[in-house]
């Protein structure tokens, strides 16, 4: 795993600091996402596992250039593969941003597992923060790689989080097979990859 010094990351990609309150689940890991947004001015972002929409709200509030933000999540009756994630199933997915005209919410009984690539537009940034089981992370990664634009950025959350170790295992396995293309930002739980393939 390549680990990018946090200060160096912001020297390269610019500031990710915000005046807003940091979103609960994402915390300081929102700052690299904001930096990517400010540098690359993405028009379309997809978030897999939007939950109540705190991360999305932060990105949208700080990114007026975003034209479409697609949030994907499960219905309230969903049973998570990992019991520790059951408390994260939102009763009202995307409630913080549902009135933003740039937002499209896709709520399915099995979330992203119910989608195929043709259901989604080409995206500039995809943020994977949904099902943290090995199968879930792998399926979301495969879906993301089929809808990301060439040169776009895929980000994964919770790498190194001992409560959900499958995320780390899947990313490490991908890096072993693919030559360390996914990079971790130091002192955080966010990994990213600039995609050399895409739509």
Sheet holding 190-194, edge to edge: 2-4, 183-185, 190-194, 148-157, 123-128, 44-48, 68-74, 103-108
The encoded tokens of residue 123 equal 């995206």
pLDDT tens-place string over residues 141-158? 999 999 999 999 999 999
Rounded to two decimals, the pTM is: 0.96
Sign of CA dihedral 22, 134, 9, 57: negative
Give the single-character DSSP code of 3.
E
- The burial class, CB within 10 Å (0-12 / 13-18 / 19+), for 112 is buried
For residue 195, name the pLDDT band (cuts at 50, 70, 90).
very high
pLDDT mean over 127-144: 97
Average pLDDT over residues 97-118: 96
Which domains are delineated in the chain? 2-194 (3.40.50.150)
Q: Tens digits of per-residue pLDDT, 20-31?
A: 777 777 888 999
Question: Is the CB of residue 65 less than 8 Å from the CB of residue 36?
Answer: no
Mean pLDDT of 17-42: 89
């Amino acid at each position: 795993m390549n680990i990018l010094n946090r200060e160096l990351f912001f020297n390269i990609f610019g500031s990710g600091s915000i005046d807003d309150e940091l979103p609960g689940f994402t915390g300081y890991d929102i700052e690299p996402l904001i930096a990517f947004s400010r540098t690359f001015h993405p028009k379309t972002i997809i978030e897999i596992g939007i939950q109540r929409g705190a991360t999305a709200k932060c990105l949208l509030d700080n990114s007026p250039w975003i034209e479409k933000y697609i949030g994907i999540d499960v219905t309230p009756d969903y049973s998570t593969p990992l019991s520790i994630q059951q408390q994260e199933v939102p009763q009202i997915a995307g409630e913080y941003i549902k009135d933003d005209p740039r937002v499209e919410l896709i709520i399915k009984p099995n979330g992203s597992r119910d989608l195929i690539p043709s259901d989604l537009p080409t995206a500039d940034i995809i943020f994977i923060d949904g099902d943290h089981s090995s199968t879930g992370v792998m399926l979301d990664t495969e879906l993301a790689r089929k809808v990301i634009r060439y040169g776009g950025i895929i980000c994964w959350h919770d790498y190194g989080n001992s409560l959900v170790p499958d995320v780390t295992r899947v990313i490490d396995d991908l890096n072993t097979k693919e030559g360390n293309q996914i990079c971790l930002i130091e002192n955080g739980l966010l990994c990213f990859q600039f995609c050399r393939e895409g739509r």
